[in-house]
């Protein structure tokens, strides 16, 4: 398949009758471990992947933004009169606009929508890159990650954590990124020797995820308050045992997930592939049983992945309730693994599963043509 970047540039030439000034490329991300902890100031370990969203763009002399998507429709807006259109894909493009300069753009994406690979954060970050380029502003990755998160909350009503945009702006070839979601420090960490990352797509998309996501966040807030800590990042299993007796049973389990997941993430950074794989397995169990954000399809694909001898471990990734899982697999065997798991999953469920190895890739950037 032609990459998003090439498709966006080719479509731009065709639609706009000339070359773009440049193309903004923002990778998707897959989180290896550290799930549902970013909004409690925890530690996460995502990788930027070699599937990305691209916007080919050209500065306009007026104050309009005209943006077409190869996957969705074309839309335009006036920078001086931003009107809301709830549910429309380009709300994030409006949400990140600084209002300094207008542009024409064409969007193409290799990141599946709603699959837990951060397609929406990739769109917000790519639009921020375009906005910075056409208005001649320097690129400040951390500022951009914050702005993307703000736009998502204000323009789509989803109160996400900082992990997704921060992973997208910080990607590094061959590395995962250990993010301290309190200090926002990002440390590139090489992937375990002899292992590659494989994304397993269940073909199901999360429904009602936004309300469940909010509910989990609220439970975590309530737990932190009851435990007397600023965020669950500051709690330990000992503290939970000592002070958690008054918590509702579900709230107790949510807190136990966050506390144990933070410990697993920090352990994973030091682990070789086999130990890393066991941590992935434990993370999945905790997300399924304590945090209750997995789904039958996710449980199934994870189970099928683990049956393969070349698999070190696997778990659901992202917000959950559908979408993708991630597996750590012996290098050199990832293609065969992906094919076998996707086939077994489709036969078992009748759903169109897919699986593909991913390379850890560079972060969001503008490329000249």
Residues catalogued as catalytic:
164
Alpha-carbon span 220 to 206, nearest angstrom: 21
> What is the distance in angstroms between the CA of the first residue and the CA of the last residue of the chain?
20
**CB within 8 Å of 142: residues ≥ 6 apart:** 166, 169, 184
Query: CB atoms < 10 A from the CB of 69, how many?
Result: 21
243, 22 contact by CB (below 8 A):
no
Q: Residue 299 phi/psi, 5° resolution?
A: -60, -40
Rounded to whole angstroms, the Cα distance separating 126 from 56 reads 10
Q: What is the DSSP letter of 80?
A: T
Nearer to ligand GLA (CB atom), residue 9 or residue 224: 224
Smallest distance from ligand GLA to CB 365, Å: 22
The stretch among 4-12, 14-22, 47-55, 158-166 that binds ligand GLA (CB under 6 A) is 158-166
Instruction: Give the span between the Cα atoms of 47 and 260, in whole angstroms.
Output: 21
Query: Interface with ligand GLA includes 323 (CB under 6 A)?
Result: no
Residues numbered 201 to 220 that lie near ligand GLA (CB under 6 A) are none
Is residue 164 part of the contact set for ligand GLA (CB under 6 A)?
Answer: yes
Phi and psi at 328, nearest 5°, equal -105, 125
User: Chain-centre distance of CA 336, in angstroms?
Assistant: 25
For ligand GLA, the closer CB: 201 or 310: 201
Figure out which of the listed residues 33, 97, 144, 163 binds ligand GLA, where binding follows CB under 6 A: 163
Measured from the CB atom, the residue of 56 and 166 that comes closer to ligand GLA is 166
User: Shortest approach of ligand GLA to residue 274 CB, angstroms?
Assistant: 24
Rounded-to-integer distance, Cα 252 and Cα 244, Å: 7
| Chain-centroid distance, C-alpha 202 | 16
Q: What is the distance between the alpha carbons of residues 89 and 190, in angstroms, rounded to a whole number?
A: 34
Q: Which residues pair with 108 in a beta bridge?
A: 54
CB-CB contact of 28 with 150 (8 Å) = no
Interface residue with ligand GLA, options 319, 325, 338, 344 (CB under 6 A): 319
Q: Does 39 bind ligand GLA (CB under 6 A)?
A: yes
Q: Applying CB under 6 A, which of residues 38, 91, 110, 261 lies at the interface with ligand GLA?
A: 38
Q: Judged by CB under 6 A, which of 117, 160, 235, 360 binds ligand GLA?
A: 160
42 binds ligand GLA (CB under 6 A): no
Smallest distance from the beta carbon of 338 to ligand GLA, in angstroms? 23
Q: Which stretch binds ligand GLA (CB under 6 A): 72-80, 160-168, 278-286, 349-357?
A: 160-168
Window 243 to 302, contacts with ligand GLA (CB under 6 A) = none
As measured in angstroms, the least distance from the Cβ of 37 to ligand GLA is 7
> Which residue among 141, 192, 277, 318 contacts ligand GLA (CB under 6 A)?
318
Inter-residue contact 158 to 39 (CB < 8 Å): no
Q: Which of 95, 102, 161, 323 binds ligand GLA (CB under 6 A)?
A: 161
Chain residues binding ligand GLA by CB under 6 A are 35-36, 38-39, 160-161, 163-164, 318-319
């Amino acid at each position: 398949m032609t990459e998003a970047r090439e498709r966006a540039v080719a479509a731009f030439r065709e639609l706009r009758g000339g070359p773009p000034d440049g193309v903004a490329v923002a990778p998707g991300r897959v989180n290896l471990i550290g799930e549902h902890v970013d909004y409690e100031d925890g530690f996460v370990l995502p990788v930027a992947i070699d599937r990305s969203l691209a916007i080919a763009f050209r500065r306009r002399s007026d104050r309009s933004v005209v943006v077409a998507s190869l996957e969705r429709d074309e839309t335009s807006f006036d920078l001086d009169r931003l009107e809301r259109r709830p549910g429309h894909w380009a709300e994030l493009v409006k949400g990140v606009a600084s209002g300094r300069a207008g542009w024409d753009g064409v969007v193409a994406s290799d990141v599946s929508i709603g699959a837990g690979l951060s397609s929406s954060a990739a769109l917000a970050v790519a639009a921020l890159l375009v906005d910075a380029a056409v208005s001649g502003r320097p690129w400040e990755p951390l500022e951009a990650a914050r702005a993307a998160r703000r736009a998502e909350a204000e323009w789509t009503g989803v109160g996400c954590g900082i992990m997704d945009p921060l992973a997208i702006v910080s990607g590094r070839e061959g590395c995962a990124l250990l993010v301290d979601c309190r200090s926002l420090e990002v440390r590139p960490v090489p992937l375990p020797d002899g292992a590659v990352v494989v994304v397993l797509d269940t073909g199901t998309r999360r429904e009602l995820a936004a309300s469940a996501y909010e509910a989990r966040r609220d439970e975590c807030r309530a737990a932190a308050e009851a435990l007397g800590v600023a965020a669950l990042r500051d709690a330990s299993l000992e503290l939970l045992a000592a002070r958690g007796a008054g918590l509702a049973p579900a709230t107790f389990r949510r807190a136990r997930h966050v506390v144990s997941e933070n410990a697993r993430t920090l352990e994973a950074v030091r682990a070789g592939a086999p130990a890393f794989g066991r941590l992935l397995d434990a993370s999945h169990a905790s997300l399924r049983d304590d945090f209750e954000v997995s789904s039958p399809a996710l449980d199934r694909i994870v189970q099928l992945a683990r049956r393969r001898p070349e698999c070190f471990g696997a778990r659901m990734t992202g917000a959950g309730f559908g979408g993708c899982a991630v597996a750590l697999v012996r290098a050199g065997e990832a293609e065969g693994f992906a094919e076998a798991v996707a086939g077994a999953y489709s036969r078992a469920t009748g759903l169109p599963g897919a699986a593909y190895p991913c390379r850890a890739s560079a972060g969001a950037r503008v490329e000249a043509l």
